[in-house]
Structure 1
Amino acid sequence: MTALLVRGAQILTMARGQTGAFAGDMLVRDGRIETIGQGIEPPDGAEIIEGRGKLLMPGLVNAHTHSSETFFRGRYEKMPLEIWLLYAYPFFGNRPVPPRLLYLRTLLLAMESLKSGVTMLSDDFFETPGHDLDRLGLVFDAYDHAGIRANISSAVMNVPALDALPYAREIVPRDLAARLDAFTPISVQAYLEFCERVFSRLHGRANGRLRFMLAPSAPQRCTPELMTALHALSRRHGVPYHTHVLETKTQAVTGPDLYGRSLIHYLADLGLLGPNMVIAHSVWVSDADIALMGEAGVAVAHNAVSNLKLGAGIAPVRRLLDAGVAVGLGTDGLSSNDTARIFDVMRVAALVQSATGPDPKDWLSAREILQAATLGGARTALLDRVTGSLEAGKAADFILLDMGSTSFLPFNDVEKHLVYAENGGSVETVVVDGKIVMRDRKLLTVDEDAVLAEIAETVPPLLAEHARVEAQNRVLEPFMQEIHRRATAQDIGMQRYAGDMPPWRHG
C-alpha cells in the first residue's frame, strides 16, 4: 500500500455545502483520499508533502477541448466560427498528421494542462478523414504517459457539410458543392463497430484514468440514426454523450431552417436529452430550450474565451444554473482560445457575465465559477463521484498553490483570489490518481525540455504544409462569409431568452 500525507495546508475542498479554506491535513492511500482533518499521523513509509503556506484544492477540470488544434495556437483571429473552420478543420487537402506528431500534439496539451493545475480534461478529438484505432491509441498513450485524467472521443459526423448549414445550397456554386459532396461518410454500423473496438481495447486504461466518450459533432452534422445509435451506446457504457449545440447565431438559424424548431427541441423530440448529454457552448438557447435542458438534467461545457474570440456570443450561464443545468468550464481547442489554462477561462467567465445585464444578482460569484471549474466540470464528464472535490473515497486529484505568490498578497478571500488574480503560475504540485506528476513546477512524467525541443524542430514543416492547405480552402471563404452575414442579419436577438423562436423559412 502506498500512502501520501499533505500536512498543514490551507484546504479548499469544493465539496457541496463547504465554503472557504481551513487549515488541515489530507491522507491519501492507494490513489484515494482516505481522510481530511487535523493532526493526522502519517502511516509508516508514507510520503509527506509539507503544506505550510500552500493552498490544497481539487485539480481543475477542462470540460471541453480539442487536442487536434494544439499546433494552431496563435494562428487565427477575427474569424467567426464558420470561417475559422475552413482553416482549422479544412475541407480540401487536409491529411492526418504523422503518428509521432499526433502523439506530441496531444502530449503538449497534457503538459500545459497539468502545469496550469488541470488534472482532468475532456478531449473531443477529431481527425479527418476517418477513424483509426491505432491513431486514437496514440492519443490515449500521450495522456497515459503524461499522467493526466481524460475522457477521449473519436468525434464523428456523417452529413454533407452544405446540408448542415442554412442557405448553403443556394450560395455555394455547383462545382464547389460537388467537391464538398464527394465526402464519403462512415456508415452508422461501421462507426458503432469501431466504437465497440475502442471500448474493448482502450477504454478504462491506466486504472480507469482514461475513458472513451461518444461525441457526435452536432445534431445538424449527424443523421438522426447516428445520433440515436450513439446515445444508446453511451447509456449502455455509462459514458458522456458529448456534442456541440447552438454555439453561433448561424446555428440558431440552422435548427428552424432545417428542422422547423430549435436544435434543443429537435434533440428533445429525438429523445436524446438526458443526464449523460454534455452540450458544448449553449450560447443561442431560448428560455424554452433552457427549460427542456433543466428538466432533462443535461450538462453544459461553457467556453467563455473561445466564444468571445470567435464572436459567438455570451452563454446565459445564470439562466442555465437557475434551471438546474450543470455547468463546467472548457477552454475549447488551442486554435480558438490559444491557451489550455482553465484559470484564464475562470476569470473571463466571471467577468463577462457582468456585461449581460445591470442586475448584479444575475452575475456569477467566484464560488460559482470555482464550482464550474471543479465539481461542475467533473459532472460534465460523468465523474463527479470520482473527482472534482476533496472528499474521502474520491480519487486523489489535487493541486497545491504557493500562497506566498503575488496572486495571494495581500490575502483577502481565497475564492476571489483564485478566480480574479491567479493565472496558474502559483501551481507548484500536481497529483493525479494519487501520483505526483508535478513537483516544484517540474513535470515528473515526461522530459519537458526534450519534448519542447522536438516540437520546435519537427512542427514547422507541418505548418508550412498547412499553409498550402489553407490556400486551397480560401476559395470557400466568401460563401461562408455570406452564410454568416445572412444568419447574423436575422432578428432573433430579442427572442433569444424569450421562449419560442420567431417564424423561419423551412427548406
Structure 2
Amino acid sequence: MSLFFRNATILSMDKVHGVTPFSGDLLVEGDRIVAIGANLPVPAGARVIDAGRKLLMPGLVNAHLHSCETFFKGRYHGMPLEVWMLYSYPILMKEPISERLLYLRSLLTAMESLKAGVTTLVDDFFDPPGFDLNRLKLVFDAYDHAGIRANVSHCVIDKHVFDTMPYLRELMPQDLQDEVEGPSITPDEYIAYCQAVFATQHGRAGRLGFMISASAPQRCSTEMMQAGMGMAQAKGVAYHTHVLETKTQAVTGPKFYGRSLIRYMHEIGILTPNTTIAHSIWVSEDDIALMGEAGCSVAHNAISNLKLGSGIAPIRRLLDAGVHVGLGTDGLSSNDTARIFDVMRLAALLHEIATPDTERWMTAAEVLRSATIEGARTAMLGQVTGSLEVGKRADLLMIDLSGYDYMPLNRLDHHLVYCENGSSIRMVIANGEVVVEDGKLLTIDEAEIFAELGELLPAYLAEHAYLENLNARFEPYIREMYRRATVQNIGINRYQGDMPLWPGPDRRAG
C-alpha cells in the first residue's frame, strides 16, 4: 500500500534543505520515497495520513550497539570498562545463551529501538566461544521479524584476553591464568565464516546486511585485522572496531606496538573509508589527522563513555578533520536504553564543558546530522537511508508537534535535540512499512514476548550471577592493571578530548 502524508512539516536532512524545515506532502510506494513536494496528487488506493501539526524526519540511526548486553540493562554501575567487561563479557563461561533466548534478546533490542524512533541499528554482535552460522541466523531472523534495518557483524577476537591489556600477565596469578583458554579461530577460518554469512544473510529482506568486525587492534592479530579489512573492501561494507576507548587503551598502543593504536592501524593498512571506530576518546592530534586523511568514521557513544568513566571524545576536532561522526547507544548494559534521543541531548550538552570556546561547541544541527545522515554514512548506508529524498528507502518518523516539547515552537532543531525524548513519536516507518503507530508496535506482539521473557529470564540471570561470582576472583588484578595504566596515561596523553584533565596550557589545535 502507498502512504501519502499530507500537509506535513518536513525535515529532510538532505543537501538542499539540511535542518531547515519546509511544508509539503510526501509519498511512499513500496519501500521507497517516490515524491516530496507541495500539493502532490494522491494516488488511487493510497493510505492518506493527515500530517498537519506533524513533523516528518528521517528515522534515527544507532551507529553502535551490542545486542548481547540487552539482558544486563540496569545491572552494573561504578565500574571502568575493563572491570565491567569481566561481568558483562565473562572470562570464564559455561554454555552460550540458549537459541531461544538469543532470538528473543535480539528481538527485544529491535523492539525497543523501533519504539524509540531508531529505524537503523548497527549490531556489533558477540557470541563466544564460537562462530555458528545457525546462531547468527537467529539474530537476522529477529531483525527480519521486527521490521528494522540492521547491519550485523560477528565480532572476532584472536588474542588471549590476558594479552589484550598491559601489565595483566605480570599481575595475574598463574593459577588463575591457567583457568582461561584462549580463542582458537584463525584468520582463514573467520573469513570463510564471513563468506558463508554474506552468501546466506546479507541483503535479506532488503534491509539486513552483514559487516566485518575485528574487536580492537589490541585484541586481534595483525593478520586478522588485515584479512577482515580485505573482505570489507571487497564486499563494500563497514569494518567496525573499538579504538582508544579508555585510559588503559591509551597506554596499550605504546606498550604493545611502540606507537598509538591509530598510527598502528594506519601503518598496517586498516585505516580506510570503510573503517568505523567506536569511541575514539584518547586520540592525539596526530591520530585525528590520520583519521581525517583516511576518511574514516566514528561512532560517538556519549552516554556509555560517561557511565564507564572512559572520557569525553574530541568530537569538534574530529569533525574539523573531516571524520564522519554518528551516534551510538553502545550496549544496553553500558547505556541502559536504546534511545538515541537521549544520546543526542547529552552529546549536544556534554561538549559545552569540553572547551570554553563557545564557537566550538556542537550545534543542534550537527547532532541531528550525526543521528541521521552521518550515522548512516558510518554504516556505509548513506545512499540508502539517513535523509528524506526521492529514491531513498522510506525510513522515517512522524512526530507530533502539538505537545509540551514544542509549545511554543521556536527552533525545531533545538526542540528535537534538547526537548524531545521520543514520547512525541506517532508513527515509525521502516523500509516503507508502518512498524509503530500511536505507541503500538505492529510487527510483534509485545505482551506475548514480555510474558515469555518473564518465564525464561530468571533462570538465565541466576546462571549469570553464578558466572559473576566465578569471575570476581579476577577483579582485584584487573583493577590494579587499570590503576597502573591510568597513572601511566598521564605521561602519555595528558590531554583528553577538547578539555585538559590536568593543569597545563590548553594546546588545542587552532
TM-score w.r.t. length of structure 1: 0.96
The letter for the 2-side match of 1:13 is S
Match of 1:379 among 377, 380, 385: 377
**Alpha-carbon contact 1:68-1:127 (below 8 Å) kept:** yes
Deviation at 1:495, TM superposition (A): 4.8
Which of 370, 384, 398 lines up with 2:396 in the alignment?
398
1:290 counterpart residue number? 288
Assess if the C-alpha contact under 8 Å between 2:406 and 2:415 holds in 1.
yes
Matched, 1:257 2:255: yes
Matches within 5 A, 1:325-340: 325-340=323-338
Pairwise CA RMSD of aligned residues?
1.1
- Structure 1: tracts of 5 or more residues without a match: 499-507
Shift of 1:184: 3.5
Aligned to 2:96: 96
Matching residue of 1:127: 127
User: Is the counterpart of residue 210 in structure 1 residue 208 in structure 2?
Assistant: yes
> Which amino acid in the other structure matches residue 122 of structure 1?
V
Q: Which amino acid aligns with 1:204?
A: G
Q: Does 1:359 align with 2:357?
A: yes
Report how far residue 497 of structure 1 moved. 6.7
**Structure 2 Cα separation of the partners of residues 497 and 139 of structure 1:** 35
CA drift of 1:419 comes to: 0.4
What's the CA shift for 1:311?
0.2
Asked if structure 1 preserves the Cα contact closer than 8 Å seen for 2:281 and 2:497, the reply is no
**Pair 1:497–1:11, CA change in 2 (3 A):** closer
What residue is the counterpart of 2:194 in the other structure?
Answer: 195
Do the aligned partners of 2:124 and 2:155 also contact (CA within 8 Å) in 1? yes
- In 2, the alpha carbon distance for the partners of 1:23 and 1:236 equals 42
SS of 2:55's partner is strand
User: Quick one: distance in 1 between partners of 2:455 and 2:40?
Assistant: 49
Q: Which one of the candidate residues 266, 272, 278 is aligned to 2:276?
A: 278
Aligned to 1:477: 475
Distance change (3 Å), C-alpha of 1:17 and 1:318 = farther
Q: Are the equivalent residues in 2 in contact too, given 1:146–1:445 (CA < 8 A)?
A: yes
Shift of 1:66: 0.4
Give the C-alpha shift of residue 185 in structure 1. Answer: 2.0
1:11 corresponds to? 10
Distance 2:434 2:468 in 1: 41
Residue equivalent to 1:67: 67
1:420 has 2:418 as partner: yes
* Letter of the 2:485 counterpart: A
**Equivalent residues in 2 for 1:460-471 (5 A)?**
460-471=458-469
Instruction: Describe the superposition over 1:403-433 as per-residue Cα deviations: whole angstroms up to 9, x where unpaired.
Output: 1121111211110001001101111101011
TM-superposition CA deviations, 1:119-150 (whole Å, max 9, x none)? 00000000110011111000000000000000
Q: 2:297 aligns with which of 281, 296, 299?
A: 299
Amino acid aligned to 2:145: H
- 8 Å contact kept, 1:287–1:497: no
Q: Percent identity?
A: 57
In the alignment, the residues of structure 2 paired with residue 94 and residue 33 of structure 1 have an alpha-carbon distance, to the nearest angstrom, of 48
Instruction: State the alpha-carbon separation in 2 of the partners of residues 332 and 92 from structure 1.
Output: 23
- 1-side partners of 2:49 and 2:69: how far apart? 36
Amino acid at match of 2:80: P
* 1:166-205 alignment, distance < 5 Å: 166-180=166-180, 182-205=181-204
The 3-state SS of whatever aligns with 1:313 is coil
Contact 1:95 1:128 in 2 (8 A): no
Contact 1:26 1:33 in 2 (8 A): yes
Which one-letter code corresponds to 2:471 in the other structure?
Answer: N
1:332-352 deviation per Cα after TM superposition (whole angstroms, max 9, x unaligned):
000000000000000011111
Which whole-Å CA distance do the structure 2 matches of 1:94 and 1:315 have between them?
A: 36
Unmatched 5+ stretches in structure 2: 499-510
452-461 or 75-84, which deviates more: 452-461
- Does 2:219 correspond to 1:221? yes
The answer to whether 1:85 aligns with 2:81 is no
Q: How many residues align?
A: 495
Q: Structure 1 166/357 Cα, relative in aligned 2: closer, same or farther at 3 Å?
A: same
Return the alpha-carbon distance in structure 2 between the equivalents of residues 146 and 497 of structure 1.
38
Partners in 1 of 2:53 and 2:171 — Cα distance?
62
- CA displacement at 1:153 relative to structure 2: 0.6
Deviation at 1:494, TM superposition (A): 2.8
Conserved in 2, the CA contact under 8 Å of 1:157 and 1:185? no
Residues 298 and 325, structure 1, Cα contact 8 Å, conserved in 2: yes
Question: 2:48 aligns to what SS in structure 1?
Answer: strand
Give 1:72 deviation, angstroms.
0.2
Task: Indicate if the aligned counterparts of 1:94 and 1:128 stay in contact, CA closer than 8 A.
Answer: no
Aligned to 1:110: 110
Report the 3-state secondary structure (helix = DSSP H, G, I; strand = E; otherwise coil) of the residue aligned with 1:327: strand
Report the Cα distance in structure 2 between the residues aligned to 1:410 and 1:457, rounded to whole angstroms: 46
